[in-house]
């Protein structure tokens, strides 16, 4: 009875929030329902016929989930799906409420959930997942999570509670992630890369995962893909990268548009075209393949589903304004920012850039991370035609570019993102592209502004 | 002129973008025609730190901090001292040292962790650190007497630490935290100074948006090396001042929990 009341109140709030454009519609209904019936999420999730898939880790959660969602579409399942950003218990519960009947039954058989790393233990206490994916661990918004080791420990404690019927998919190439595979009751499957041509990644600067999770000695790497992902081995205790059961044996990156990969799994091998650039999306695809296979989905549906996810680079959005292209890619941590820059610069055409850095809680209040991004690559002559810098911390960004050796004469700084965007756009000729790199809340602000300017309605709702 | 800069344990002690401090020292020297060389010092090797003009020591996670601590306590065969003693002798000799966060803590006498483990420090600062039960996170603005001629007399940065550092026997802090916690959240002191060694909790990175601090370090290093009073050529610092002022404004307006 309490459950029904919780469902009704939550749904009521959700409708009101939508009707009156109140804030908090993505997580407050769930929080409210949990106040009325703390077991709301547990009870609703028990009624899922096919269980839940959870994706956690620093980068790639949203893209991996999107791939899985498209795969499920191929087999006629439309899962319960939480919006990116609504990945705490309140947001997850809201997603369940949204997909529940008034009698408290889920309308879908399956839930596809993106879970914040720090929230994993709390969510997993309510929803026993059938499949869990852990993508990678990078330093991200440390001011929110404390230290990376702590985050890893949280996920470890969540995975330790899973029964043998659950499957855990772990990135073999990330030593912090692969270390989670020890001593679990659940079945563990590793995914990774096995293409020697990609082994020329730059040695990492930062200390995300330099030391053996077992004995503390420094890992030696025989290959680095990017960041601390690669083929590592502890010279002292022998702790090493596990052989992945699901891997990409050949990867052809084709600029900012796509890559072609050959995927090997214990069941079958197949090629697929990934309409997303860069190695990190290969990992996302492998994770999605693994999860879909665990759900018993056929290879053909998997291939079609993954191929239907596209964007020109990263989690990118694209819009035409008066014959000019605006391409927007979210930046939120050094690794992601470096990947975006690498992708952006890969075709050697001079670029017009706009960078927006905010320091709200959702962006990370500490902007120190900008110093871990290799902006030095922008200093190469002829690579950047102009840069407009904006956002609450435009000053910090401008100083970073100056010390990276960028041409300060071509730098325009405007703390007001609206006028900054207008002037950046004015500097682009019809047929040209403006590349916009915002942090999370800067992206939300800019979307709203572009929407108000009257350009393309549902464009952002991809 | 020429400056040798040592980045201590850059692979271990480089969290929160502290490498920006080394970049700032390099660039601000180079822009004035002072050549620089940066040596990246790593675990397991021995260095005579007196040969460096500036040593930078950044922050780290707990696990890495322990490794660094062990390395500093380890004996150097060539020098017949411990690594840490070599650094302490350099400070006595007037070398410029900047330690941030974990590096700052290790320049003190010891760091007692939350589990009660005591990590010995170098004792350069008459100060000690104990783990607190809350993490001190947020913007910091420090009023400091060290920059009388600068356009601003403050330092701005971002702190993120649970260790509480206490200065003893009148050891001088860098300044007073007017916003944020500083050393321990109690006495409002931020940082420590002994001779030309400075310790601070401020990330940010600290030096790029507090260029007067970077210049103070460069000046002191040149004076030690070349013996004369040094007057650094002034630089165009519009962007740095903009970053400083906007950080300072942000610190003042950001809603924060009562401490
Ligand atoms: Zn080991």
In this structure, are residues A52 and A45 in contact, taking their beta carbons and an 8 Å threshold?
Answer: yes
pLDDT for the residue numbered A135: 96
A359 given a catalytic annotation: no
Q: What is the mean pLDDT of residues A256-271?
A: 89
Give the confidence band of A456 by pLDDT, cuts at 50, 70, 90.
low
Give the sheet arrangement for strand A324-329, strand by strand: A316-321, A324-329, A433-438, A351-356, A384-390, A411-413
In this model, does residue A211 exceed pLDDT 70? Answer: yes
pLDDT for the residue numbered A313: 43
pLDDT for the residue numbered A14: 84
Query: B192 or B76: whose pLDDT is higher?
Result: B192
> Tokens for A83?
């919006």
| Chain A residues lying within 8 Å of B14, measured CB to CB | 205-207, 372
Highest mean pLDDT among A21-35, A175-189, A325-339: A175-189
pLDDT for the residue numbered A205: 47
Query: A79 or A82: whose pLDDT is higher?
Result: A79
Query: Residue B69 and residue A404: Cα distance in Å, rounded?
Result: 31
Domains of chain B, by residue range, sit at: 2-251
Query: Residue B40 and residue B55: Cα distance in Å, rounded?
Result: 10
| Structure confidence by residue, pLDDT tens digits, A314-344 | 456 778 888 898 988 889 888 778 878 887 8
pLDDT for the residue numbered B35: 96
Residue B112's DSSP bridge partners are B118, B130
Query: A408 or A65: whose pLDDT is higher?
Result: A65
pLDDT for the residue numbered A145: 47
Q: What is the mean pLDDT of residues A183-199?
A: 91
Stated length of chain B:
259
Instruction: Name the A residues in 127-166 with CB < 8 Å from any B CB.
Output: 139, 142-143, 146-149
Domains by residue range for chain A, with CATH: 50-84+108-307 (3.40.1190.10), 315-453 (3.90.190.20)
Q: What is the mean pLDDT of residues A416-442?
A: 94
pLDDT for the residue numbered A202: 52
Give the confidence band of A190 by pLDDT, cuts at 50, 70, 90.
very high
Q: A45 vs chain B: nearest CA distance in angstroms? A: 35
| Chain B residues lying within 8 Å of A149, measured CB to CB | 61-63
| Structure confidence by residue, pLDDT tens digits, A305-316 | 999 886 534 456
Burial of A145 (0-12, 13-18, 19+ CB in 10 A): middle
- Test the A interface: residue of B201, B205, B211, B256 with most A CBs within 10 Å: B205
Query: B73 or B99: whose pLDDT is higher?
Result: B99
Q: What is the mean pLDDT of residues A217-238?
A: 88
Indicate the average pLDDT of chain A. 87
In this model, does residue B154 exceed pLDDT 80? Answer: yes
Ligand 1 mean position, distance from CA B100 (Å): 29
Ligand 1 mean position, distance from CA A233 (Å): 8
Query: Residue A422 and residue A436: Cα distance in Å, rounded?
Result: 12
Ligand 1 mean position, distance from CA A215 (Å): 4
| Chain B residues lying within 8 Å of A371, measured CB to CB | 17-20, 23, 205, 208
Q: Are the beta carbons of B15 and A400 separated by less than 8 Å?
A: no
In this model, does residue A439 exceed pLDDT 50? Answer: yes
| Chain B residues lying within 8 Å of A408, measured CB to CB | 239
In this model, does residue A146 exceed pLDDT 60? Answer: no
Task: Determine the residue of chain A that is closest to B20 in CA distance.
Answer: A371
Give the confidence band of A16 by pLDDT, cuts at 50, 70, 90.
confident
- For chain A, percent of residues with pLDDT exceeding 90: 54
CATH of segment(s) B2-251:
3.40.50.880
Kindly compute the dihedral angle of the four CA atoms of residues B9, B13, B19, B21, in this order, to the nearest 10 degrees. -90
Residues with CB under 5 A from ligand 1 (ion): A 212, 214-215, 217, 234, 236-237, 239
Host H or E run for residue B81: strand B81-82
């Amino acid at each position: 009875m309490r459950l029904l009341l919780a469902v009704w109140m939550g749904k009521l709030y959700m409708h009101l929030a939508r009707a009156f454009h109140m804030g908090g519609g993505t997580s407050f209904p769930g929080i409210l329902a949990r106040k009325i019936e703390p077991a709301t999420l547990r009870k609703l999730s028990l009624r899922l016929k096919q269980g839940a898939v959870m994706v956690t880790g620093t980068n790639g959660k949203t893209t991996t989930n999107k791939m899985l969602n498209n795969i499920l579409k191929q087999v006629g399942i439309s899962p319960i799906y939480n919006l990116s950003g609504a990945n705490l218990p309140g947001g997850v519960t809201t997603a369940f409420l949204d997909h529940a009947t008034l009698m408290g039954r889920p309308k879908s058989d399956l839930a596809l959930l993106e879970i914040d790393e720090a929230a994993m233990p709390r969510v997993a206490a309510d929803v026993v997942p059938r499949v869990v994916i852990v993508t990678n661990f990078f330093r991200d918004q440390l001011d929110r999570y404390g230290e990376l080791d702590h985050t890893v420990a949280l996920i470890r404690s969540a995975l330790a509670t899973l029964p043998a019927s659950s499957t855990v998919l772990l990135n073999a190439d990330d030593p912090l992630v692969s270390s989670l595979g020890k001593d679990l009751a659940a079945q563990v499957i590793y995914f990774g890369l096995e293409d020697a041509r990609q082994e020329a990644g730059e040695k990492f600067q930062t200390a995300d995962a330099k030391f053996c999770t077992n004995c503390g000695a420094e890992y030696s790497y025989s290959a680095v893909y990017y960041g601390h992902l690669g083929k590592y081995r502890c010279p002292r205790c022998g702790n090493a990268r596990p052989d992945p059961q699901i891997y990409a044996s050949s990867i052809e990156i084709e600029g900012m548009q796509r890559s072609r990969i050959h995927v090997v799994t214990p069941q079958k091998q197949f090629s697929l075209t990934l309409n997303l650039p860069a190695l990190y999306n290969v990992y996302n695809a492998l994770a999605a393949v693994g999860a879909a296979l665990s759900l018993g989905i056929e290879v053909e549906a998997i291939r079609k589903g993954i191929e239907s996810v596209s964007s020109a680079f990263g989690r990118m959005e694209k819009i035409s304004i008066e014959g000019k292209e605006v391409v927007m890619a979210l930046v939120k941590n050094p690794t992601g920012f470096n990947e975006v820059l690498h992708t952006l610069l890969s075709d050697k055409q001079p670029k017009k850039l706009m960078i927006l850095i905010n320091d709200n809680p959702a962006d990370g209040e500490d902007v120190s991370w900008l110093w871990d991004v290799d902006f030095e690559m922008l200093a190469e002559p002829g690579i950047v035609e102009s840069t407009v810098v904006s956002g609450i911390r435009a000053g910090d960004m401008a100083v970073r570019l100056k010390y990276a050796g960028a041409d300060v004469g071509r730098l325009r700084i405007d703390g007001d993102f609206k006028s900054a965007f207008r002037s950046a756009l004015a500097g682009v000729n019809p047929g040209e592209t403006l590349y916009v790199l915002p942090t999370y809340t800067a992206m939300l602000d800019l979307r709203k502004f572009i929407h108000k300017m009257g350009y393309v309605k549902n464009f952002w709702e991809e | 002129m020429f400056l040798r800069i040592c980045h201590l344990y850059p692979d271990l002690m480089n969290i929160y973008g502290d490498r920006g401090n080394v970049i700032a020292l390099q660039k601000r020297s180079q822009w004035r025609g002072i050549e620089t060389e940066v040596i990246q010092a790593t675990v397991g090797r021995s260095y005579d730190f007196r040969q460096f003009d500036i040593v930078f020591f950044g922050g780290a996670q707990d696990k890495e901090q322990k490794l660094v601590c062990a390395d500093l306590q380890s004996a150097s065969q060539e020098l017949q001292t411990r690594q840490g003693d070599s650094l302490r002798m350099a400070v006595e000799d007037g070398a410029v040292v900047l330690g941030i966060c974990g590096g700052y803590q290790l320049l003190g006498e010891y760091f007692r962790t939350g589990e009660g483990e005591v990590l010995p420090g170098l004792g350069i600062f008459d100060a000690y650190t104990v783990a607190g039960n809350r993490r001190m996170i947020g913007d910091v603005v420090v009023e400091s007497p060290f920059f009388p001629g600068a356009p601003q007399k403050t330092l701005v940065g971002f702190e993120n630490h649970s260790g509480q550092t206490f200065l003893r026997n009148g050891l001088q802090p860098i300044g007073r935290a007017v916003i944020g916690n500083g050393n321990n959240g109690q006495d409002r002191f931020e940082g420590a100074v002994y001779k030309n060694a400075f310790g601070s909790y401020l990330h940010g990175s600290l030096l790029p948006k507090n260029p007067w601090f970077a210049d103070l370090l460069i000046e002191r290093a040149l004076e030690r090396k070349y013996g004369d009073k040094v007057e650094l050529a002034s630089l165009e610092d519009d962007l740095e001042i903009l970053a400083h002022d906007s950080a300072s404004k942000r610190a003042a307006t950001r809603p924060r929990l009562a401490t």
